[in-house]
Amino acid sequence: MSALQVLAPEGVPAITSSTELAAVLVPVLANLVWPDGSIGIDAGDVVVLSSKVVSKAEGRLVRADDREDAIDSESVRVVASRENADGSRLRIVENRQGIVMAAAGVDSSNTHAGTILLLPVDPDDSARRLRRGLAARLGGVRPGVILTDSAGRPWRSGVTDLAIGAAGITVLDDLRGTPDDAGRPLETTVVAVADEIAAAADLLKRPTGGRPLAVVRGMAHVVTQEDGPGARGLNRTGPDDMFALGSREAYERGREGLPLHD
């Protein structure tokens, strides 16, 4: 019987740009009490942390008045945009991290009044540094690390958490070639396992109240010794992208006789 356990400890202190993340997380991790009675953290566990906390530790705060400029400078490409009922503008963009998301991931909640939060500059690098910091304080135990952000999705209501940074995680679990129950190889099943771990962790994490952290136990088969290439490999854009532009944007380019892509 396969089992997964997820814990979201309370009491992670408020994070500021003077916080060393690994230093504040290690005492919390060391005191985890698992449903099966075991204590602490193991090498096969996955530490899942909201990227907002990482942004705060990295000082990625800017003035709220500069929100639109911040979205501009965090974006490499506008995919779609729309005027909201209140006159504000919703922009779906590809951001510098290679992720397509609303407002480039610029976040106005959970920050001090008058400030907004940008995503970490390189979330995979942030994950690697956090993993190194944890290992240094845990006697060489190297859990996997996933940094998350929540994002909306075309055609589905509500947000789910995604893995935007990762270290020591096989982010895509490739089941192709595994025989199916009729003995034929599975053809198309590559599972975005890092995104599914992020989603599982989000069931317990909360955007508020000192619970930006969850630890997942039972996925040791996707935790690797090497840090690996990280979550950037989960991004899929480029010439094959059937939704490289929003419907309205693509339609207007056709009407104006422009090529679909520049």
Residues 194-233 that bind a copy of itself (CB under 8 A): 195-197, 199-200, 202-204, 207-209, 211, 218-219, 233
Phi–psi pair at 247, nearest 5 degrees: -55, -45
State the Cα–Cα distance between residues 9 and 204, nearest whole angstrom.
9
**Which tokens in the block code for residue 223?**
């935790």
Residues near 109 by beta carbon (within 8 Å), at least 6 away in sequence: 207
Residue closer to a copy of itself (CB basis): 9 or 129: 9
Closest contact distance (angstroms) between CB of 133 and a copy of itself is 23
Residues near 132 by beta carbon (within 8 Å), at least 6 away in sequence: 22
**Of 105, 115, 29, the residue nearest 65 (C-alpha):** 115
Residue closer to a copy of itself (CB basis): 83 or 140: 83
Residues 234, 195, 179: CA angle, nearest 5 degrees = 85
Please identify which residue in 83, 226, 256, 262 interacts with a copy of itself, judged by CB under 8 A: 256
Q: Does 43 bind a copy of itself (CB under 8 A)?
A: no
Name residues contacting a copy of itself, limited to 68-127 (CB under 8 A).
80, 82, 92, 94, 99-100, 108-113
Please identify which residue in 7, 22, 29, 62 interacts with a copy of itself, judged by CB under 8 A: 7
Residue closer to a copy of itself (CB basis): 121 or 221: 221
Please identify which residue in 6, 57, 70, 167 interacts with a copy of itself, judged by CB under 8 A: 6
Give yes or no for a contact between 24 and 54, defined as CB atoms under 8 angstroms apart. no
Give yes or no for a contact between 172 and 190, defined as CB atoms under 8 angstroms apart. yes
The residue range among 66-74, 118-126, 141-149, 192-200 that interacts with a copy of itself, by the rule CB under 8 A, is 192-200
**Which tokens in the block code for residue 16?**
């500021």
Looking up tokens 């990482």 gives 54
Q: Does 252 bind a copy of itself (CB under 8 A)?
A: yes
- Provide the mask over 125-164, with x wherever binding to a copy of itself is found by CB under 8 A and - wherever it is not: -------------------------x--xxxxxxxxxx--
Closest contact distance (angstroms) between CB of 11 and a copy of itself is 9
